[in-house]
Amino acid sequence: MFPIEDPVNCLVPDNLKEPISGSKTGPLAGLNFMAKDLFDVTGHKTSNGSPEFHKHAQASTVNAKAINQLLNSGATLVGMNICDEFFYSLTGANKHYGTPINCKAPERLPGGSSSGSAAAVAAGIVDFSIGSDTGGSIRIPSSFCGIW
């Protein structure tokens, strides 16, 4: 399963090198997930959608609390999703990494800054993905990509 196939351009260029396995038990055991590239993951350099930010970032020494909670619940983290640069857009486009493909409507934008997260789930690449939502950042791409 690794490296992950990326038919919808949802993964950051510097994706995880290996999956991070969750606990063997728990309500999410056996499920795979991805996370928007704003969540810190041990050993991964968070880019916030910006190659310039990524260039100067240090690899995280800890996981974000949400990542730890999902891993402790049994889910396995398999990838980091593209987001628009610094989460400033409602379109989901990233001029550096490309725009994730909305597989439900390929001629349309995926929407919102959590576009890679929504594109991954809509394409069935993972069981679920996490994003963020301050101005519709996950609600918009979920709507555009036909998921919830």
pTM: 0.95
The alpha-carbon radius of gyration of the chain (Å, integer) is 14
- At residue 2, the pLDDT reads 77
For the stretch 96-133, pLDDT in tens is: 999 999 999 999 999 999 999 999 999 999 999 999 98
- At residue 3, the pLDDT reads 82
Under DSSP, the state recorded for 87 is G
Q: Out of 47, 113, 114, 115, which one is annotated catalytic?
A: 113
Is residue 88 pLDDT above 90, yes or no? no
Q: Out of 47, 50, 137, 142, which one is annotated catalytic?
A: 137
- At residue 46, the pLDDT reads 96
- At residue 1, the pLDDT reads 62
Please state, in angstroms and rounded to a whole number, the distance separating the CA atoms of residues 63 and 98: 26
The chain-wide mean pLDDT, for the chain, equals 95
Residue 76 host element (H or E): strand 76-81
Residue 136 pLDDT level (bands cut at 50, 70, 90)? confident
Count other C-beta atoms under 10 Å from residue 37's C-beta: 29
- Contact present, 1 and 34 (Cβ < 8 Å): no
* Average pLDDT, integer, range 124-145: 93
For the stretch 40-54, pLDDT in tens is: 999 999 999 999 999
In 3D, which of 76, 78, 69, 68 has the Cα closest to residue 30? Answer: 76
113 is catalytic: yes
In 3D, which of 34, 47, 139 has the Cα closest to residue 92? Answer: 139
89 is catalytic: no
Please state, in angstroms and rounded to a whole number, the distance separating the CA atoms of residues 141 and 119: 8
Q: Out of 36, 89, 114, 142, which one is annotated catalytic?
A: 36
More confident residue, 135 or 101: 101
21 is catalytic: no
- Contact present, 15 and 33 (Cβ < 8 Å): no
